[in-house]
């Protein structure tokens, strides 16, 4: 694992908070948003979904669960799952890190990407539910008749066109806020965190100019919202997961694309070279039991 490959300094905090180590990206914060890729890239290998490949998403979920469980009660947190054009937050607003709210997060994440009970995962075809989700405005909650392989309830965030125009300018770049970018935009505009963690496998959209375009939008959002309200500008800390069966060169190149945003926000970056490095003994045993037979 490579940790803190990119980064800068941080600002002072009103409370003494412990350092948070999210898969090698380390930062401190009182109000923390996690933007986490739970889509097919975390559950498949070469297009095939098996218990072995789904252990990756399971491990991400369990380490996130443990990290939030360890937050002090004075902290606030929120989480969003994302993939492609979907941004599905845990809660409408930041929640105090109480035992009840930590338990609620566990309940929300528990059904996501089952290892053995189903081959369907978050990012599988939603069927009719997809149409319902697309029509559901933020922050309306859906908690009935939802897929069994995703979160226990859904919110659907789509960045408002007016906000995209405001912060990206016209014409708005194609796919300015999809994939991880939609999750970060959601966090910046609606949650007001001081720390954002992103876990992804790739950089979308693929347009060459997007890293700087999003960085410029980040600065405008900070000027418009954070500076005016006297809030600390949030750090954006990025973790790139190496795809199963691949070497880490591609992930390192992906992390480099995040460089402008990480630098502008004084965040950190890291690469997960092998997800099994973050598994406990029992999880490694399960992974080995699922390994393809040669």
Give the pLDDT confidence of 18-31 residue by residue, as tens digits: 789 999 999 999 99
Can you state the angle between helices 210-221 and 161-168, rounded to 10 degrees? Answer: 100
pLDDT value at residue 18: 79
The stretch 139-166 carries a mean pLDDT of 96
The Cα 239–Cα 254 span in angstroms is 10
First to last CA, the chain: 27
Tokens of 280: 């406990």
The stretch 275-282 carries a mean pLDDT of 96
The Cα 291–Cα 205 span in angstroms is 33
Give the pLDDT confidence of 71-118 residue by residue, as tens digits: 999 999 999 999 999 999 999 999 999 999 999 999 999 999 999 988
Q: How far is CA 136 from the centre of its chain?
A: 21
**Out of 6-15, 85-94, 140-149, which region has the weakest mean confidence (pLDDT)?**
6-15
pLDDT value at residue 15: 58
More reliable by pLDDT, 7 or 171: 171
**CB-based contacts of 226, cutoff 8 Å, min separation 6:** 192, 232, 233, 234
The Cα 136–Cα 157 span in angstroms is 9
More reliable by pLDDT, 1 or 204: 204
Question: Which superfamily is assigned to 2-289 in CATH?
Answer: von Willebrand factor, type A domain (3.40.50.410)
Give the pLDDT confidence of 123-132 residue by residue, as tens digits: 877 788 989 9
Confidence of residue 196 (pLDDT cuts 50, 70, 90): very high
- Do the bridges between strand 2-7 and strand 141-142 make them parallel or antiparallel, or are there none, so unpaired? unpaired
What number of CA atoms fall less than 13 Å from residue 243's CA on the CB side? 16
pLDDT value at residue 124: 78
**Domain ranges, ordered by start, for the chain:** 2-289
pLDDT value at residue 245: 67
pLDDT value at residue 47: 82
The pTM score is: 0.93
Give the pLDDT confidence of 233-275 residue by residue, as tens digits: 999 999 999 976 678 999 999 999 999 999 999 999 999 999 9
Tokens of 65: 């669960």
Confidence of residue 61 (pLDDT cuts 50, 70, 90): very high
CA angle centred on 27, ends 263 and 101, rounded to 5°: 125
């Amino acid at each position: 694992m490579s940790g803190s490959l990119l980064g800068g300094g941080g600002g002072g905090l009103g409370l003494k908070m412990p350092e948070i180590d999210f898969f090698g990206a380390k930062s401190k914060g009182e109000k923390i948003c996690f933007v986490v890729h739970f889509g097919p890239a975390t559950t498949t290998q070469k297009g095939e979904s098996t218990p072995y490949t789904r252990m990756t998403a399971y491990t991400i979920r369990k380490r996130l669960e443990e990290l939030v469980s360890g937050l002090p009660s004075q902290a606030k947190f929120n989480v969003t799952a994302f993939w492609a054009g979907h941004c599905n937050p845990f809660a409408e607003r930041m929640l105090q890190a109480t035992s009840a709210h930590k338990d609620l997060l566990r309940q929300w994440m528990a059904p996501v990407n089952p290892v053995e009970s189903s081959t369907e995962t978050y990012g599988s075809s939603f069927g009719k539910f997809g149409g319902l989700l697309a029509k559901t405005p933020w922050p309306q909650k859906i908690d009935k008749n939802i897929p069994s392989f995703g979160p226990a309830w859904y919110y659907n965030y789509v960045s408002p066109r007016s906000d995209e125009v405001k912060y990206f300018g016209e014409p708005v770049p194609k796919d300015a806020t999809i994939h991880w970018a939609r999750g970060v935009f959601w966090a910046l505009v609606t949650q007001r965190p001081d720390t954002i963690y992103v876990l992804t496998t790739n950089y979308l959209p693929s347009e060459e100019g997007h890293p700087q375009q999003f960085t410029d939008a980040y600065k405008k959002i900070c000027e418009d919202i954070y500076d005016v309200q006297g809030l600390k500008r949030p750090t954006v800390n990025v973790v790139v997961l190496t795809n199963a069966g691949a070497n880490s060169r591609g992930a390192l190149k992906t992390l480099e694309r995040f460089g402008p945003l990480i630098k502008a926000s004084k965040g950190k970056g890291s690469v997960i070279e092998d997800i099994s490095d973050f598994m406990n003994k029992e999880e490694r045993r399960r992974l080995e039991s699922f390994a393809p037979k040669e």
